[in-house]
Structure 1
Amino acid sequence: MYKVLLVDDEYMVIAGLKKLIPFHQYDMEVVYGASSATEALTYIAGHPVDVIITDVNMPGINGLEMVRQMREQLPHAAYIILSGYKEFEYVKTALNLQVADYLVKPVDKVELGQLLGRIAHTFASKEKTALPLLREDTTEEEFKEVLQDKPRVLLAAARTEQGEHAVPFTVLGQSGFLFLTEHEGDVLLARPFTAPYVSSFQEFTKELETYFFYGNVALQPNSSVFRYYEPMYRVIIQGNLQQILEELGLLEEIVLKTTPRVSTTKQLFIQFVMDVFHLFEHLKPDDMTQIIKNLESSKTFDELSQCMRKEITHLFSQHRLNENVANVLELISSHYRQEISLKDISAQLFINPVYLGQLIKKETNSTFAELLNKQRIKAAQQLLLATNNSIEDICYAVGYSNVGYFYKVFRKLCGKSPKAYRQQM
């Protein structure tokens, strides 16, 4: 599918194009709608597109200037200019920029459809006549046909175009070229390119993402960083900001030494901040959604770390957990596998159980039983993903004595059965 970017400061124009134009008929999909040229330029820095449909008159950078800047990053994309003005200077400038066409608003649905059809046909013709070797869908046979007689070849990445079969790439906002070479030279990353070529190529592209994210790649990467997390979780639920930030620093050191997949690291850090977030259950789910978006958008590990510290500190500035409730959370974390009750814990803390129950509800918006269930189900989720143990064994391991009740609680909190959860993940 060819990717389409719509740019217009009028929201209804973007919504109308999405609704009225059957992009799928031209093997196209609208991947983003930007309300300004600045937003559009920011988007393509990390998300290359094939077709740009833009208005001319927008606040700030106008559509023609935007196209001029975009051509430096996307020289082979197709540009369609829309405007409410049919003035010669606009048309002349658009033609000088070699845009696909200049259409006057209101846009004629048939005319635009015919234009998209011609663009799709042109793209398809170019692909058939000049497909690069280094692409995601290259088959093993295609690689062998080119490489089988070469004794030693390296798959490399560099800022400048060099070597053989060079193709441009953009990873985490960083641009450069992938190519084949016999000598490393001035490269960012290079690895022996051997059969099976498809998997070797896929591994290299993932490693390249890792390189740009961390600034380096560990010689022996190890993605099993989640095994370090359980003792950190015990510290998190105590609700002490300084201790949490210290644990975060330790986690950062571990990740930098092992440089796991970028997606794995982001998943781990999101889990970390979610567990901090759950200390303050009076907060709205939308707040967590925004935090996740901020973390996911990080293009480097430094950005991710800074974002983590900022979000965690902000959460604590909004609300500080009562010391007695923090103690309850710690005891739940340490003893959830056992038969424990609010009465038992209140006795340990020398607090009236009714008062403690009210305090827990006020601070966390959950009852003691709900907190205990959440802890047990969280532990069950980890066992479902990290082991091949039977669901019945996991049920008993996390503190439940009744498998049917375990299924009921799991489905209530996770929206699916333990078996379905394991299969989906």
Structure 2
Amino acid sequence: MYKVLLVDDEYMITEGLKVLIPFEKWKMEVVQTANDAEAALEYIKNHSVDLVITDVNMPGMNGLEMIAQMKASLPRAAFIILSGYQEFDYVKTALNLQVADYLVKPVNKLELAALLEKLSKNFEQSSDQQLERVFQDESEEEDIASLLEGKERLWLGADVVPKGFSSAPYRVLDRTLYLFLSSQRGGAVYQEEFAAPYKKQLQSFKVNLEKSLFYGTVSLQETDPLFSYYEPVYRVIIQGNIAQILEELDLLEDIVLRSTPKVSITKQLFIQFIMDVYHLFEHLKPEDITAIIREIDGMNSFDSLLVYIKLQLSGLFDQYRMNENVASVLEVIGRDYQKELSLKDISQELYINSVYLGQLIKRETNSTFAELLNKQRIKAAQQLLLSTNDSIEDVCYAVGYSNVGYFYKVFRKLCGKSPKAYRRQMD
């Protein structure tokens, strides 16, 4: 309800307006009456109002002087002036103060009703425009709470067209949708009940909206970090068993759909998956890697992502089988990367010359044994950085490095950024 303050030194005027004018028809409520300007100014020190209806001629401070002072405290309020006679100087001053209207007593009920109808629409429009600030990142929690004060049950939604009593465009997954506030549920691409803390829920809503568009569903249950599932998947990949790799892809699909993590996390996971397979089965050029990452980053749905991954794997598996000795080396690296590993020790276990084994590894993977070990350790470090709050030093030691400085050097070389920067990118 819009709040109305009546000010007139004649008691019968204020009481008569309260009785004769159906303010509630225009969503208005008389919250206070005052018999002089001083009392009215005292009231607004602690109370906000939307409309002030006041007489001009009152003992002490007149209505125009009162309005001039009220403007500082009530910058968005509307003012209606009542007067027993129409005098040019009063009208001129009223116009300068930008009052809504100047009415001559006795007040014409129809004239006042038309004016209140107009003001009610202006209030509603102004209120809706103010509510757009809810969607702005710079708005503080207190500001949002103030804007929504008096609003009962609210729904925050997104749709292809503006809806509700306030809306704002929002870009997500290369689409423009409209975030909106409504007092009713339904008729939206995605919708949630909106309650404090508002800023936190708005951020959560944006994440869930993206999930809804990408996966077609949203899981609101807390789940284990997605990358915690990847270690056993990688062990299957390095064995080079094509059938098992495809089975692991189906397992990842099921896990992702049950947990619906942030879209950026899922894309990062599948980039890692496809890159791991490619590194094992063919020589990748830098431009190939860039193209794969760009393709996956541009995916707007989980289904299209899976189709792309499966097509890539199908084309790759049709033309390549890995040397079993190289596969054995990769299996050892994947299983024991935290330990001290050497090509010489592994070659002895496989009963093969270490130089020849090194040549096989280089030919099959386009990497040396040391490079493969570093890649696996850094891969494991990436998972820990994204799925735990462990310190950088703890991550370094956990993946098999004993020198933090060397770990930073290798990580930056392979990832293009420091461990700290890599962790921050997923916030």
TM, length-normalised to structure 2 = 0.62
2:261 is aligned to: 260
Partners of 2:156 and 2:192 within 8 A in 1: yes
Larger Rg: 2
**Separation (CA, whole Å) in 2 of partners of 1:366 and 1:416:** 21
TM, length-normalised to structure 1 = 0.62
Cα pair distance change 1:278/1:202, threshold 3 Å:
same
Structure 1 SS opposite 2:179: strand
Structure 2 residue identity aligned to 1:198: K
Structure 1 residue identity aligned to 2:179: L
Query: Bigger shift: 370-379 or 250-259?
Result: 370-379
**Separation (CA, whole Å) in 1 of partners of 2:420 and 2:406:** 15
1:399 is aligned to: 400
* Per-residue deviation, 1:388: 4.7
* Per-residue deviation, 1:369: 2.3
The CA deviation string for residues 7-41 of structure 1, in whole angstroms up to 9 with x for no partner, is xxxxxxxxxxxxxxxxxxxxxxxxxxxxxxxxxxx
1:246 is aligned to: 247
Structure 1 SS opposite 2:232: helix
Cα pair distance change 1:423/1:351, threshold 3 Å:
same
* Per-residue deviation, 1:213: 1.0
**Separation (CA, whole Å) in 2 of partners of 1:373 and 1:168:** 45
Structure 1 gaps, min length 5 = 1-128
Cα pair distance change 1:210/1:331, threshold 3 Å:
same
Partners of 1:174 and 1:212 within 8 A in 2: no
2:225 is aligned to: 224
2:305 is aligned to: 304
Q: How does 1:367-378 map to 2 (within 5 A)?
A: 367-378=368-379
**Separation (CA, whole Å) in 2 of partners of 1:169 and 1:417:** 32
Cα pair distance change 1:417/1:210, threshold 3 Å:
closer
1:330 is aligned to: 331
Over aligned residue pairs, what C-alpha RMSD do you find? 2.9
**Separation (CA, whole Å) in 2 of partners of 1:234 and 1:165:** 51
**Separation (CA, whole Å) in 2 of partners of 1:207 and 1:398:** 33
2:322 is aligned to: 321
**Separation (CA, whole Å) in 2 of partners of 1:409 and 1:368:** 15
The CA deviation string for residues 37-79 of structure 1, in whole angstroms up to 9 with x for no partner, is xxxxxxxxxxxxxxxxxxxxxxxxxxxxxxxxxxxxxxxxxxx
2:139 is aligned to: 139
* Per-residue deviation, 1:392: 4.8
**Separation (CA, whole Å) in 2 of partners of 1:291 and 1:358:** 28
1:352 is aligned to: 353
Structure 2 gaps, min length 5 = 1-127
Partners of 1:221 and 1:260 within 8 A in 2: no
* Per-residue deviation, 1:297: 1.4
* Per-residue deviation, 1:375: 1.8
Cα pair distance change 1:226/1:406, threshold 3 Å:
closer
Cα pair distance change 1:162/1:421, threshold 3 Å:
closer
**Separation (CA, whole Å) in 1 of partners of 2:275 and 2:241:** 15
Counting aligned pairs with the same residue, the percent is: 59
* Per-residue deviation, 1:360: 0.9
Structure 1 residue identity aligned to 2:135: R
Structure 1 residue identity aligned to 2:302: F
Partners of 2:227 and 2:387 within 8 A in 1: no
Structure 2 SS opposite 1:266: helix
**Separation (CA, whole Å) in 2 of partners of 1:179 and 1:395:** 46
* Per-residue deviation, 1:340: 2.6
**Separation (CA, whole Å) in 2 of partners of 1:336 and 1:166:** 52
* Per-residue deviation, 1:157: 2.7
1:204 is aligned to: 205
**Separation (CA, whole Å) in 2 of partners of 1:157 and 1:377:** 39
Structure 2 SS opposite 1:178: strand
The CA deviation string for residues 351-389 of structure 1, in whole angstroms up to 9 with x for no partner, is 232221211111112222222222223323433444454
**Separation (CA, whole Å) in 1 of partners of 2:398 and 2:168:** 52
Count of equivalent residues: 297
Cα pair distance change 1:351/1:213, threshold 3 Å:
same
**Separation (CA, whole Å) in 1 of partners of 2:423 and 2:189:** 38
**Separation (CA, whole Å) in 1 of partners of 2:238 and 2:165:** 54
Cα pair distance change 1:204/1:381, threshold 3 Å:
closer
**Separation (CA, whole Å) in 1 of partners of 2:162 and 2:397:** 59
